[in-house]
Amino acid sequence: MTDVFRALADESRRALLDRLNHANGQTLRELCAGLDMTRQSVSKHLAVLEEAGLVTTVRRGREKLHYLNAAPISDIAERWISRYDRRRVDALADLKKALEGPSMSRPEFVYTTYIRTTPEQLWKGITDPAFTRQYWGLAFETDWRPGSVMTWRLDRNDTVLADPEQVVLVADPFTRLSYSWHSLTPEWAKAYDIDERYLDEVAGEPRSKVTFELEPRGEHVKLTVTHDGFEEGSAVLPGLSEGWPELIASLKSLLETGEPLNTA
């Protein structure tokens, strides 16, 4: 927490967060444009923000894209808000909400957190039905080999989402996992009480994909979740941007404490 507060205390670093909040997924060159700071200063500030977990980066070819990361703000809110006067932390709550909002500049979701576990246990957490049913309420039926079809079996009414285009894309055990997102079918909508008008709106969108990257960091594992493949103005992305932080937090709680989050 100390690194987060130290990073937020600097006006220049807050300005960089504001710029990313306005347009997420920027390169260093884009972030420097129009700022009264040298490229070296911006780079140093970004390094502090990344070390604090407030910014996460993704390589795209030769480019390094910078994204806001809501996880530290979520941790602050959950750990401290209940201990202090709500009025004294409204700013944190507003920032948390802003950081969890979807990017309007690049249609994708990027989120990084640190979980006190091993890569092997985290891999089980995102693939093994014994874990996924506890925090996600579903099980994946697949052999986790690249190209293999994935069937999503939801605990709600034992709904099955089967589609030959729902496949494993990358499976490097304990390091990287990527798969295509489930089909947005009437069965899915019925299981989650999705409004038919919303289903009509999203049914024609292209299939997206989610990627999990696991990186050992001492007693922790750095988990970066990227969900991309969306069109500009996607109606699916805002809902996923709200849902992923809670889901990841529940996975983190399950692996660290043995219990998923109680969000009821």
Asked whether residue 238 is domain-assigned, the answer is: yes
Asked whether residue 263 is domain-assigned, the answer is: no
Cα 155 from Cα 191, distance rounded (Å) = 9
pTM assigned to the model: 0.72
Would you mind telling me the total number of residues written for the chain in this entry?
264
Mark whether 51 and 129 lie in a shared domain: no
pLDDT value at residue 102: 46
Mark whether 120 and 96 lie in a shared domain: no
Number of separate domains in the chain: 2
- Domain carrying residue 177: 111-257
Look up residue 64 and give its amino acid: K
Angstrom distances, CA of residue 4 to CA of 17, 53, 182: 12, 7, 35
Where residue 158 sits, what CATH number does that domain have? 3.30.530.20
Where residue 9 sits, what CATH number does that domain have? 1.10.10.10
Q: What number is the average pLDDT over the span 95-107? A: 52
The answer for 105, left when phi > 0, alpha when psi is -120 to 50, beta otherwise, is alpha
The three-state (H, E, C) secondary structure of 46-92, written as one string: HHHHHHCCCEEEEEECCEEEEEECCHHHHHHHHHHHHHCCHHHHHHH
pLDDT value at residue 244: 92
Cα 11 from Cα 19, distance rounded (Å) = 12
pLDDT at residue 213 is higher than 80? yes
Mean residue pLDDT of the chain comes to: 86
CB atoms closer than 10 angstroms to residue 129: 14
Confidence of residue 45 (pLDDT cuts 50, 70, 90): very high
Residue of 132 and 15 predicted with greater confidence: 132
Least confident of 87-91, 159-163, 212-216: 87-91
Mark whether 70 and 161 lie in a shared domain: no
Cα 130 from Cα 125, distance rounded (Å) = 8
